[in-house]
Amino acid sequence: MSEQPLYQVRDVVRRYGHAARPAVDHVSLDLAAGERLGIVGESGSGKSTLVRMMAALDRPTAGSIRFRDTEISGLPERRLGFLRASVQMVFQDPRSSLDPRMTVGASITEPLRSPLLRRRAGVPADTRARLEEVMAQVGLDPADARRFPHEFSGGQRQRIAIARALAPRPQVLVADEPVSALDVSVRAQVLNLLADLVASEGLTLVLVSHDLAVVRHLCDRVAVMSSGRVVETGTVEQVWSAPRDAYTRTLLAAVPRLPLP
């Protein structure tokens, strides 16, 4: 029995204002449950715009995004509870994604307390217990829940953002350049944490990165974007060892070639 993809993105276009070219230009892709998809491409190629639309934080100008058979691109916020409970995002910079005036505990539990998610099937009802659980899962001391984001290092702040994303027990994690703003010395720790959580929670992953080596480490399939379009998709091995697209070859030439694990 072949399963319906979790996401079906069809001919999605996103044009900002009167920009000459759309930021996302007729993109189509499928994402199966449990799959780990990497989206790579140079800065400005439309990666963030695409995944923000998949997380319903932005709307396509044209085209269709179906999540579990529901067209999400035209839905009003009050009808998006099912998606908010199932799809959570981690952003590039925890300095801007975490509210500096909220304690770490309040930030992490905010999604659980939102009227759209509360009492929804699958979303943990015991906020305190879930807070302790996710803090421990990301390697933070639950006693730190009363502190504020500025008291933590960049890597720890990204752990807080990951705990917040995990809190509602999502099925899909969308991580947009989750280590690009961090010190090089802590990137591997945060990536390994993400890889562990994706495996232990059985998460479906959409990982945006301009760094192919990061995607190779965490993903099984990759979509390469250039100028708003997906120019190549394939398994990580296929794209890594035999890139079909000229642009992909230049991306690969820019990173050190290490043997696949």
Ligand X SMILES: Nc1ncnc2c1ncn2[C@@H]1O[C@H](COP(=O)(O)OP(=O)(O)O)[C@@H](O)[C@H]1O
Candidates 9, 12, 46, 111: give the one binding ligand X (CB under 6 A): 46
2, 94, 97, 132, 156 from 147: Cα distances, Å: 48, 15, 16, 14, 12
Instruction: Confirm or reject binding of residue 97 to ligand X (CB under 6 A).
Output: no
Report the SS3 class of residue 178. Answer: coil
Candidates 4, 11, 28, 44: give the one binding ligand X (CB under 6 A): 44
Q: Which is nearer to ligand X, 109 or 158 (CB)?
A: 158
Candidates 48, 156, 171, 226: give the one binding Mg ion (CB under 5 A): 48
Q: Which is nearer to ligand X, 133 or 211 (CB)?
A: 211
Question: Taking Cα atoms as reference points, which of 69, 72, 71, 39 lies closest to residue 58?
Answer: 72
Classify burial at 73, counting beta carbons within 10 Å of its beta carbon; exposed 0-12, middle 13-18, buried 19 or more.
Answer: buried
Q: Which is nearer to Mg ion, 13 or 181 (CB)?
A: 181
Sheet arrangement for strand 62-67: 24-31, 7-14, 62-67, 70-71
Candidates 23, 40, 55, 194: give the one binding ligand X (CB under 6 A): 23
Instruction: Confirm or reject binding of residue 49 to ligand X (CB under 6 A).
Output: yes
Candidates 16, 62, 99, 196: give the one binding ligand X (CB under 6 A): 16
Amino acid at 11: D
Partner interacting with residue 221 (select from ligand X, Mg ion, none; CB below 5-8 Å by kind): none
First to last CA, the chain: 32
Q: Which is nearer to ligand X, 82 or 177 (CB)?
A: 177
Q: Which is nearer to Mg ion, 133 or 211 (CB)?
A: 211
Q: How many C-beta neighbours within 10 Å does residue 40 have?
A: 27
Query: Under the rule (CB under 6 A), what is the footprint of ligand X?
Result: 16, 23, 41, 43-49
